[in-house]
């Protein structure tokens, strides 16, 4: 016996919770990609201003003030730019993010590759960068000898080899980004009288990642006269000589 039609039309099967979830995820993904596409173009324009102009601009969503510290490479053949990012809501520069930006034409490839990485990282806030190091200044005006820098994270913004567009040659070309950014941390530490620097090795990192980051950190530290010391942190270095203490944070 055939099922009778309901008044007003045929029986309609409601979409399952699984289909609703899939549709919701597809919409969220489309919205993210559209938003990111606009941010990527905006970031590359900002990067051009950093390379070609006076070295000062703003990041996506106008959240950070970006200032070029210097270039990597020769004057006629610049490989990358080191940029300092400070949140506009933090005039005292307690937290500073150092960013490694490749040339604008290469930045587009890294911006595309950053979509393969978990959101809200350096690639999200600074599309086109290769990686970033975030430094927090624990400055104590009345106990200057206890002041120190804490590196909150040292994180890349791309995923290779699954990222389309990136080649091994390009990734190798910028493979030393961590060294270059850490160089700036220790140069500023000595300049500002900070004799202790701490690397925060997050618990979420794999054992191999923690070992790798600690190795680079201590290698660059030793180059600048800092020696590893035992402390409550995963990795900590201290300057042998006590420099003149300067109240400036970074």
Assess if residue 6 is contained within a domain.
no
Establish if 12 belongs to a structural domain: no
Can you give the pTM of this predicted structure?
Answer: 0.77
Domain count, the chain: 1
Any domain includes 162: yes
Identify the domain containing residue 87 by its residue range.
17-239
| Dihedral of alpha carbons 242, 243, 244, 249, sign | negative
pLDDT at 19: 60
Q: Is residue 4 part of a domain?
A: no
pLDDT of residue 81: 93
Q: Is residue 69 in some structural domain?
A: yes
Residue 16 is predicted with a pLDDT of 72
**SS3 letters for 190-246?**
HHCCCCEEEECCCCCCCHHHHHHHHHHHHHHHHHCCEEECCCCCCEEEEECCCCCCC
Domain presence at residue 7:
no
Token look-up 């200057």 returns: 144
pLDDT of residue 127: 81
Give the mean pLDDT per block of 10 residues along the chain (250 residues).
Answer: 51 61 56 54 70 65 80 88 84 84 88 68 80 90 81 87 78 96 95 90 82 93 91 72 52
Q: Check if the beta carbon of residue 93 is closer than 8 Å to that of residue 247.
A: no
Q: What pLDDT is attached to residue 201? A: 84
In a domain, 76, yes or no: yes
- In-domain check, residue 42: yes
What is residue 145's predicted lDDT score, i.e. its pLDDT?
A: 76
């Amino acid at each position: 016996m055939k099922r009778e039609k309901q008044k007003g039309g045929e029986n309609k099967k409601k979409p399952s919770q699984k289909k609703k979830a899939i549709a919701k995820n597809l919409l969220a993904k489309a919205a993210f990609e559209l938003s990111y596409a606009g941010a990527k173009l905006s970031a590359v324009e900002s990067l051009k201003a950093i390379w070609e102009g006076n070295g000062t601009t703003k990041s996506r969503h106008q959240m950070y003030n970006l200032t070029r510290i210097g270039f990597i490479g020769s004057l006629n053949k610049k490989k990358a730019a080191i940029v300092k990012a400070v949140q506009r809501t933090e005039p005292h520069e307690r937290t500073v993010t150092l960013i490694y930006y490749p040339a604008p034409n290469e930045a587009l490839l890294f911006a595309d590759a950053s979509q393969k990485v978990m959101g809200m990282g350096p690639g999200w806030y600074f599309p086109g960068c290769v990686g970033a190091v975030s430094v927090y200044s624990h400055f104590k005006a009345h106990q200057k000898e206890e002041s120190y820098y804490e590196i909150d994270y040292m994180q890349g913004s791309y995923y290779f080899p699954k990222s389309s567009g990136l080649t091994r040659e390009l990734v190798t070309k910028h493979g030393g980004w961590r060294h270059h950014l850490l160089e700036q941390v220790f140069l500023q530490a000595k300049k500002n009288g900070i004799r202790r620097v701490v690397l925060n090795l997050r618990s979420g990192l794999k054992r191999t990642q923690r070992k790798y980051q600690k190795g680079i950190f201590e290698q660059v530290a030793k180059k600048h006269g800092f020696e590893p010391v035992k402390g409550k942190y995963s990795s900590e270095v201290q300057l042998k000589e006590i420099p003149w203490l300067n109240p400036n944070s970074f």
